[in-house]
Amino acid sequence: MLVLESMAAIVNLMEPLVDFAPAGTTSPGGVKQLDFTKFDGRLAQAWTFDQSTLTYTFNLRHNVVGCTGNKFTADDVLYTYARAKSVSGVLGPLGWFMLNTGGVAGFDTSVLKADAIKTLGDEVTKVDDYTVKIKVSSQRRLFFPVLTDFFTYIWDSKVMKAHATPSDPWSHAWAADNNAPSFGPYCLQKWTKGSDFVAQANPNYYRGKAAINTIDFRTVPEDANRIAALQSGAAQIVQSLTPKENEFLRTAGKGVKVNGIVGNQYLFLGVPWNIKPFDNVLLRQALAYAVPYDQILSVAYVGQAHKWEGTVPSSYIGFYKTPTQYNLDLAKAGQLLAQAGYPGGKGLDPNQLQLSYVAERQGTLSPVATLIQASFKNLGLNLQLNPLPQAQFSDRVYAKHDVPMFLDDQDKPDLVTGEYALGPFMTTTGPGNYTKYSNPVIDNLVTQIYNETDAAKQQQELNQAQEILMQAPNWIPIAESATQWGLRSNVTGITWHPEDQLRWYDLKLTG
């Protein structure tokens, strides 16, 4: 998992080929919104698509100057795509995965074989210094969202090549410890890993110099210290607070406000299929009917969330409110528990009645876990709460898959379509399939959805897949919570992007 400072750096120091267009609307919580169906050019200023050859032609922007004075050209695009296809380092595989998801030709799984040729072929070619062609294996709705994702942002190839070594030809080690050279609105001035970094506005940025000249992004682990810094004016923006802390800031006095939007932050109860008897669908349904949804929303989230009514974020293209829904119904839960063969919880191994969650997230998740524990007890299920340090949670849930039940509010699909919310998380080989779910029907449906060009048919297939996943719940969806920022009252321009990172270029200080 990338640390917060890395994501914040990438989206502000680097630049994409395209980005989502502004929607011209603002959320009830004061956050500017994007139109996920429309795209503005960034380093690419125009493009066309040839259906007969499945090829996009991108006309690149002229006179774009990076932080070192290098001018952007097609060579930087080819370098970025070649680096991704190398499937090397940390970001290489992630770049490859995104371009594979977008359907870029040559970025299929064959490159993962040990003896595979991982060099860029004719799938991405330079026509001239300001024109590139990108071939796709199929025309996917995901192609342009992929180009907005920070794993496909464009590197300054001259700087990167200057730091290459025989053992590290793609400069992974240098970039990880020093910089993310590109053509973005900010330039790195100072970076203390794990602590803070300082960025200065790029004076040559092609969209005009940013309104705020200097950004000091600091890691402050203690929530109370972040709140105090905001209240005193030492900080202008704070993030990653609990719902109750954000509620406190709303009434904290003059000079402070909270902006928020329900985007793609969600909470679900994960129940792995590979741990028996949780492969019993009736047992899973019983658990789903025993979750105290309304209490969780009002007590743990203090009204800053709503019930999640599907397996795709409701803000995403392709979301479907499924006919199958779970609400707290202890009588029905008890009946299903008995039908599953465990009346009153009898016969269930007490060691499997454990609910794990990230200890560092206790401010939000401990109240949720306690409410679930109390509700399950009404069924004769004596749930043990098992907070785990982040590293241990990641190892056991994401790698070993040996935790019987867990709460997860950290994962989210960065690409804003229903198919991407399903593909990595709900298919047999999906990298985010932490519950070890395997259903050939879903696997085939998701493949069809990825490549479907008929929008109406694609939505029908998405509806079908989402209903299947609710009837035999893979995840038990609980809540969609607001992404929120505590701000000084003179900060404007907060805009929500799917990876939850602010674009500093959008920000302004008034007064």
Evaluate if residue 3 carries a pLDDT over 70.
Answer: no
The average confidence (pLDDT) of the chain is: 96
Evaluate if residue 4 carries a pLDDT over 60.
Answer: no
Q: What is the CA 404 to chain-centroid distance, rounded? A: 24
**Residue found by looking up tokens 């929303």 in the block:** 297
* Residue 471 confidence (pLDDT): 98
Per residue in 154-169, pLDDT tens? 999 999 999 999 999 9
Per residue in 13-63, pLDDT tens? 999 999 999 999 999 999 999 999 999 999 999 999 999 999 999 999 999
- Which residues touch 167 (CB under 8 Å, ≥6 apart)? none
The Cβ-side half-sphere exposure at 438, using a 13 Å CA radius, reads 6
Report the alpha-carbon distance of residue 491 to residue 153 in Å, rounded: 27
* Residue 2 confidence (pLDDT): 43
pLDDT more than 90, % of the chain: 94
pLDDT more than 70, % of the chain: 99
* Residue 5 confidence (pLDDT): 61
Q: Does residue 480 sit in helix, strand or coil?
A: strand
Per residue in 88-125, pLDDT tens? 998 889 999 999 999 999 999 999 988 888 999 999 99
Please give the domain boundaries of the chain with CATH numbers for all domains.
15-175 (3.90.76.10), 264-482 (3.10.105.10)
Band the pLDDT of 511: cuts 50, 70, 90: confident
Which ranges in 181-235 belong to alpha helices (H)? 223-232
- What is the full DSSP assignment across 329-387? -HHHHHHHHHHTT-GGGTTS-GGG-EEEEEGGGHHHHHHHHHHHHHHHHTTT--PEEEE
